[in-house]
Amino acid sequence: MALMTADEYRERLRDGREVWYKGRRIEDVTLDPDIRVCVDTMAVDYELPEHGELRHLGVVRDPETGEEQSRYYHIPRNGDDLLLHQELIVAGTRLGDGFIPFAKDIGADVLSAIEITARRLGSQDYIDRIGAYGRYLRQNDLAVVAAVTDVKGDRMLRPSDPGQAHEDYYVHVVERRPDGIVVRGAKTHISGAAYAHEMFVIPCRTMGEADKDYALAFAVPCNQPGVRQILRPFHSRISSLEFPNTRPVRVHTESLVIFDDVFVPWERVFLDGEWQASNTLVHSFALLHRRTGVAYRIPMSEQLVGVAQAIAEYNGVAKAPHVVEKLTDMVIYLETLKGLARASCLDYTLHDGVAVPSPMLTNLAKFHFADRYHDMVKIIEDLAGGVLVTATTYADWQRDELRPDIEKYLGGKAGIPTEARLRMLDLIRRLTRSELETIVLQGEGSLMAQRMTIFFEARRILQNAKALVEEIAQVPREA
């Protein structure tokens, strides 16, 4: 088997996994009315190749078998591979109305990061195991998510620090057996884990020698005994206060994933105690995943620009000088993001045969997007006006005795139907809701995580710039 259809993807989720939602054990995630919405969001990745014009992005030929396979599991070897990968993420996210499907992108980032780490370690065992596991993903076209963020406890303390309230705040090995390892701990905020087939588990920070039992990378099926997921409720429907909308709601859920003495066979273990290599794994994944994050923020930013322009026109203010300035700022925001994202792929380097994007440009792109996001939301809220939070509801619109007044008094520019203005305000409220603010800030690492990488990368730039001006100023060598 090579490519799966969306229905085959769904069918493979009926596997007895342990998922809890709103205090209930969910027997079948594809049938629960809330979680099904998320399943459908992930299924977009499986539908993408059916869109003829996108097939070349989604599908490549397996170099070994010649069979069609997902591009996601094709390890990038040069800048063009990275760019096509990026275009695939952008296309998938556009298909999902601004929501990344998440079936394979984050798993593909881990796959590459583990391959780099195994090669750098020079461990033929690990190279063979990740090679075989990558083949398994490719040939079965599985959805695989990444469980990286540990629950962490006291953030300032290392995993094994005796000051931590217990030793399970980070996932670690509790037993090594002839056939594999047993792991315990918990990961949090894991997107899509409730409706993926497989889960990669890797450390979220570099480990020292004292923490070597936490220097661990492995993969488990999501129904592995002992893996328990608890989901947070989320909005899976258009609010009844809003105009009805037949486009599918796109949403993901994040899981608290508990590993309750879970057995992992050796062939699925990709790091076990080699603490010196945790640095390579953590930083490779962070870089690759931040590039993925940047790519799916492009369609999201396009939507921000779109609603700003639309509501400015509907309100009749699109040509006012301060509005033109604000709309131009939004275009600068979007085009800077796109330019940095593209440049990060073209300015790639090869890490043990795997093409990785420029760390500086990738982190600048993610930082730019997250840091200026609230400025963009502020512009939209300003252009929309107070009606954004005070507009009458759809229930009122439906009343014959109210609708003529609403149509007459909540209109904007002549020629634009009042319904268009009210529908756009609904969309703006959905796009700028506070949950998205947190995703923007924390997804792929907090702002400080990007600052740290930018500063690390900047050391050479700062020294080169200093040397340049010292030469111009003819500073004596010993200064």
Give the binding site for ligand FAD (CB under 6 A): 106, 145-149, 152, 155-156, 189-191, 254, 438-439, 442-446, 448
Nearest approach in angstroms of CB 159 to ligand FAD is 12
Nearest approach in angstroms of CB 158 to ligand FAD is 9
Q: Is the CA virtual torsion 278, 342, 60, 147 positive or negative?
A: positive
Residue 203, strand partner residues: none
Nearest approach in angstroms of CB 156 to ligand FAD is 5
CB closer to ligand FAD, 78 vs 446: 446
CB closer to ligand FAD, 155 vs 247: 155
In what helix (H) or strand (E) does residue 373 lie, and over which residues does it extend? helix 359-384
CB closer to ligand FAD, 189 vs 342: 189
CB closer to ligand FAD, 136 vs 234: 234
Identify the CA nearest to 377 among candidates 296, 294, 438, 448: 438
Task: Tell me if 139 sits within 8 A of 68, measured CB to CB.
Answer: no
Tokens encoding 98: 């601004």
Residue with tokens 């200064």: 479
Tokens encoding 134: 């990558």
Nearest approach in angstroms of CB 91 to ligand FAD is 21
Q: Tell me which residue has its CB nearest to ligand FAD.
A: 148
Task: Tell me if 198 sits within 8 A of 222, measured CB to CB.
Answer: yes
CB closer to ligand FAD, 84 vs 452: 452
The C-alpha atoms of residue 86 and residue 89 are separated, in whole angstroms, by 5
CB closer to ligand FAD, 255 vs 315: 255
Nearest approach in angstroms of CB 442 to ligand FAD is 4
Identify the CA nearest to 278 among candidates 213, 200, 221: 213
Nearest approach in angstroms of CB 115 to ligand FAD is 19
CB closer to ligand FAD, 79 vs 445: 445
Identify the CA nearest to 32 among candidates 272, 222, 194, 243: 194
| Residues whose CB falls within 8 Å of the CB of residue 143, separated by 6 or more in sequence, listed in order | 9, 42, 45, 102, 103, 104, 107, 192, 195, 196, 197, 198
Nearest approach in angstroms of CB 34 to ligand FAD is 16
Identify the CA nearest to 422 among candidates 242, 296, 252: 242
> How many other C-beta atoms lie within 10 A of the C-beta of residue 131?
13
Helices marked H in 258-316 — which ranges? Answer: 278-314
CB closer to ligand FAD, 26 vs 186: 186
Nearest approach in angstroms of CB 445 to ligand FAD is 5
Instruction: Break the chain down into helix, strand, coil percent, rounded to 5.
Output: 50, 15, 30
